[in-house]
Amino acid sequence: MIKLAANLRVQFRNANDGAPGRRFLLGKVSRGACSSKQCAKFTGGVIIAADMLGSYGSLARFRNISRLMKVNDNTILGASGDYADYQYMKQIIEQMVIDEELLGDGHSYSPKAIHSWLTRVMYNRRSKMNPLWNTVVIGGFYNGESFLGYVDKLGVAYEAPTVATGFGAYLAQPLMREVVENKVEITKDEARALIERCLKVLYYRDARSYNRHEIAIVTEEGVEIVGPISSETNWEIAHMVSGFE
């Protein structure tokens, strides 16, 4: 982590330093915004899912963009919020991983290390009044343990067995907590079925969601990203819904 801290100023040398004439983005409107994502731990790994929609305001402008990133063989990252900021963050993390591999010392970044680094980065940018407008989830399996961590644009961070961002924090999180809290352990198949159920509910209820998504799974064997996938939907009762005109 010492090396990460030392490289922070170099990697973010173009960040706003608060000098006069610099632009302030606290009132920023995201032009390429991405909605919620759902994540859960299971026995032997972590699963993260996100749809592939990029919205321009309320316009469903881009319908085939990925928000899930394989960091290395034991870590995955998912982001919601401003897509340009996510691309910037992704570029820096990819270069960090390359630099680490070039050392050839047999070590790689753990999920906790990436999560800890992101908390410092997000808080640093927030303190300079130029935050990265993202909510990021880090999932991984390292040294026999599953890890799932959350970081938002203010640097607020925590670890939890289930995480949901955006509108999913209101609709999907209760569904995931109900399953996780009532079971000592859940299997990979149960976790995937739970995540797919959450994605379907969000597609029905969230106007910024989209029925095209990716699912990333990290286990001891490595990282697997599946998709694009579409859920089977049923709108037969739609004509019976009233009171929302």
> Could you give the CA distance from residue 131 to residue 164 in angstroms, rounded to a whole number?
21
Whether residue 180 lies inside any domain: the answer is: yes
Q: Which domain covers residue 120, as residue numbers?
A: 31-228
What is the reported pLDDT for 133? 93
Per the structure block, which two tokens stand in for 39? 């994540």
User: Is a pLDDT exceeding 50 seen at residue 9?
Assistant: no
Taking residues 11-37, report their average pLDDT: 45
Q: Could you write out the three-class secondary structure of 168-204?
A: HHHHHHHHHHHHHHCCCCCCHHHHHHHHHHHHHHHHH
Helix (H) or strand (E) holding 218: strand 213-219
Whether residue 9 lies inside any domain: the answer is: no
pLDDT tens sequence across 40-94: 888 888 999 988 888 888 888 888 888 899 998 899 999 988 999 999 999 999 9
* pLDDT over 90, % of the chain: 27
Per the structure block, which two tokens stand in for 157? 């961070």
User: Is a pLDDT exceeding 50 seen at residue 227?
Assistant: yes
* pLDDT over 70, % of the chain: 84
> Could you give the CA distance from residue 211 to residue 152 in angstroms, rounded to a whole number?
25
Helix (H) or strand (E) holding 129: none
Q: Which residue has the tokens 């999560």?
A: 115
What is the reported pLDDT for 77? 93
Q: Which residue has the tokens 């753990």?
A: 110
What is the reported pLDDT for 183? 82
> Could you give the CA distance from residue 234 to residue 238 in angstroms, rounded to a whole number?
9
What is the reported pLDDT for 30? 38
Angle CA 139–182–194, to nearest 5: 50
Nearest CA to 139 among 71, 44, 46, 216?
46
Whether residue 120 lies inside any domain: the answer is: yes
What is the reported pLDDT for 136? 93
Whether residue 210 lies inside any domain: the answer is: yes
Residue 237, SS3 per DSSP? coil
Question: What's the chain's length in residues?
Answer: 245
- Residue 35: pLDDT band with limits 50, 70, 90: low
How does strand 33-34 pair with strand 75-82?
antiparallel
Helix, strand, coil abundance in the chain, percent, nearest 5? 35, 30, 35
Could you tell me the maximum CA-CA distance found in the chain, to the nearest angstrom? 63
Whether residue 173 lies inside any domain: the answer is: yes
Asked if residues 1 and 112 have their Cβ atoms less than 8 Å apart, the reply is no
User: Is a pLDDT exceeding 50 seen at residue 143?
Assistant: yes
Asked if residues 227 and 196 have their Cβ atoms less than 8 Å apart, the reply is no
* Domain total of the chain: 1
Whether residue 163 lies inside any domain: the answer is: yes
- Residue 114: pLDDT band with limits 50, 70, 90: very high
Task: Note if the bond before 174 is cis, omega within 30 degrees.
Answer: no
Asked if residues 134 and 22 have their Cβ atoms less than 8 Å apart, the reply is no
pLDDT tens sequence across 116-139: 999 999 999 999 999 999 999 999
CATH classification of the domain holding 52: 3.60.20.10
Mean pLDDT, all residues of the chain: 81
Residue 118, SS3 per DSSP? helix
Q: What is the pTM of this model?
A: 0.80
User: Is a pLDDT exceeding 50 seen at residue 22?
Assistant: no
Whether residue 245 lies inside any domain: the answer is: no
In one-letter notation, the amino acid at residue 19 is A
What is the reported pLDDT for 2? 40
Whether residue 141 lies inside any domain: the answer is: yes
